Structures are given as structure tokens and as C-alpha cells.
Amino acid sequence: MWLTQSIDQQTDNQQMEELRKQEDELWHKMGEVKDEKQREKLNTELQEVQGKLNTIYGQMKDKKTE
């Protein structure tokens, strides 16, 4: 049981780290892009990444309370 939880948490942490990198890259790109349509597209991608981060964070929080 403990090993499974440890592996799950490690996987969650890896996913969150990758998503945070994507989030940072998107913020950086948004600072460089001047075209409004391109900024909207980047903003949509950013919102999706942030949604995934929130989902994983919520799942991790739920696992801790079980």
C-alpha cells in the first residue's frame, strides 16, 4: 500500500513539474507575442495547463485525506 502511494505521488509530482515548465514557457511566450490572436491562443493553452495542474493538485490533496 505504502509503495503504491509513493509511486503515485512520484508520478503526480513529475506531471506537475512538467506542467509547471509548460506554464512558465507559455507565460514567457505571452510576454513576447504582440499579435492579439496569438496571445489569445497562448492564453487558452495556459488555462488548460493550469486546469490540469489544479486537477492533479486536487487529486493529491484527496489522496492525503484518505
| pLDDT single digits (tens) 12-60 | 889 999 999 999 999 999 999 999 999 999 999 999 999 999 998 888 8
Predicted TM-score of the model (pTM): 0.76
Cell of 37: 490572436
Instruction: Compute the distance between CA of residue 54 and CA of residue 56 in angstroms, rounded to an integer.
Output: 6
Cell of 58: 486536487
Residues 6+ apart with CB under 8 A from 12: 56, 59, 60
